[in-house]
Amino acid sequence: MSERFTVFGGVDFSGAREPLANLWTAVGRERDDKLEIASLRPHAYRADLAGFVCDGWRGALAAEPDAAVLWGVDFSCGIPAGAARHLLGD
């Protein structure tokens, strides 16, 4: 998969109705050319999520000190239609 990255992680906001109601991370490693998830966990607060993304994942995987992680984040980037029209000059 990658020579530089040995760990791959993802953050999912899960379309929660209320903010912060459903933050999740999944972290894994390559095994036999597939991604094997080693940690899947919810996060109740942004600070908890940030701490895990910054360095907490290392403990969850017993990762080597020089291990590098590549994160992907799933969240919507939508804006109201009226704001889009205004920005586009329509």
Per-residue pLDDT of the chain (90 residues; tens, 9 = 90+): 446 888 999 998 766 556 555 788 999 998 898 999 999 998 888 788 889 999 999 999 999 888 999 999 876 666 678 877 887 886
pLDDT value for 39: 95
- Return the structure tokens found at 64: 């080597």
pLDDT value for 19: 59
pLDDT value for 75: 66
SS3 73: strand
Nearest Cα residue to 43 out of 20, 65, 64, 69: 20
Name the pTM for this structure. 0.71
Any long-range contacts for 47-54 (C-beta under 8 Å, 24+ apart)? 48/23, 49/11, 49/23, 49/25, 52/25, 53/9, 53/11, 53/25
